[in-house]
Amino acid sequence: MAGNKKNNMKTLTSLILFSFVVTSCSTRENFAGTDNDRKALEQTGTGIRSAFSNGDIPTILSYHHPDVRKALGYTHIINGREELEGDLKNTFSNLKLTWLDNKVESLIFQGNTAIEMTAFSIKGTPKDGSSPFTFKGRAMVVYVRYKQSPSGWASIRELIQPEPK
């Protein structure tokens, strides 16, 4: 009887280990994305940051889905591309923005969706001659495949977490 229990435990342990290995491998494949997906998403981020630095609103909008929702602060919520355009016009009438750093901390793909978490810092230079400032934070951006975007990916949800002071 004791030998039977020991064999059953070995079998159960082997099955659990096998299941864990299979699940881990298949999960990694699902979330890694293809080389083309990763390159296209990198192009998306580079295109958006470059357009922000140039104050190029049409290009920024081209990388955003029409149903984009952005939480840029606890009470600063943008709903849709039209609101985003208005917010960008207001921002660029007051500031020049330059990305100082953008470190991708996490990137996962699942089908036609990608989720990216980045730590960033942006230099803001007021157009009224006030002193420049640096804004740091973390962003979680959800992208979806979108044929009208220059890269094939568009931001549809974004949440900004400012660095604590």
Task: Give residue limits of the domains in the chain.
Answer: 1-32, 33-162
DSSP-assigned letters across all residues of 61-115: HHTEEEEEEEESSSS-EEESHHHHHHHHHHHHHHEEEEEEEEEEEEEEEETTEEE
CATH code: domain 33-162 is 3.10.450.50
Q: Which two tokens stand for residue 103?
A: 């470190």
SS3 2: helix
pLDDT band of 31, cuts 50, 70, 90: confident
Query: Tens of pLDDT along 88-141?
Result: 999 999 999 999 999 999 999 999 999 999 999 999 999 999 999 999 999 999
